[in-house]
């Protein structure tokens, strides 16, 4: 890993097609769904106009990505903002690189005067190491149970 780690915001970068191709390399079904939403210009329609896609890159290589959005797959308008589509490529796992993106998200949320940041997931034990706490189980857009975590920012 080089020292060139940087955070890039997809919608404000000049190389969207390059980064879209990198996201497409994800081996995760939700990563493929994010790719399709970006390709078809539907992500902001689904998650809110202020949605950001944050990418941690090492030079020209994508390490991790996530979204920072008004809404996610749990639709509760009083709860915002949400971190979604959280992914780290397998070669980079175990190094806590996602923590850099989560720290950035928390700075954004503080700057927008939010009290909490939320994550909807089926995972247990992943987000706790970044300071998130299980809050409650809620239904997602498909009527399935989703574990909702939150962090005071």
Domain CATH number, residue 120:
3.40.630.30
Residue 124 tokens, joined: 């247990």
Number of domains in the chain: 1
Query: Taking 90 as the threshold, does the pLDDT of residue 3 lie above it?
Result: no
Residues 116-149 pLDDT 10s? 999 999 989 999 999 999 999 999 999 999 999 9
pLDDT class for 4, splitting at 50, 70, 90? confident
* Pairwise CA distance, residues 103 & 106, whole Å: 5
Average pLDDT score over residue span 2-10: 87
pTM above 0.85, yes or no: yes
> Could you list the residue range(s) of the whole structural domain that residue 125 is in?
5-152
Query: Taking 80 as the threshold, does the pLDDT of residue 95 lie above it?
Result: yes
């Amino acid at each position: 890993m080089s020292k060139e780690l940087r955070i890039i915001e997809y919608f404000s970068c000049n190389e969207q097609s390059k980064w879209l191709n990198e996201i497409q390399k994800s081996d995760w079904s939700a990563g493929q769904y994010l790719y399709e939403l970006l390709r078809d210009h539907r992500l902001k329609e689904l998650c809110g106009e202020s949605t950001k896609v944050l990418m941690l890159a090492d030079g020209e290589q994508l390490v991790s990505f996530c979204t920072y959005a008004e809404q996610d797959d749990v639709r509760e308008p009083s709860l915002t903002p949400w971190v979604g589509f959280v992914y780290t490529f397998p070669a980079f796992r175990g190094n806590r690189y996602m923590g850099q993106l989560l720290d950035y998200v928390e700075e954004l949320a503080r700057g927008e005067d939010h009290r909490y940041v939320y994550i909807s997931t089926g995972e247990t034990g992943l987000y706790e190491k970044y300071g998130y706490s299980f809050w409650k189980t809620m239904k997602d857009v498909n009527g399935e149970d989703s574990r909702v975590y939150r962090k005071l920012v």
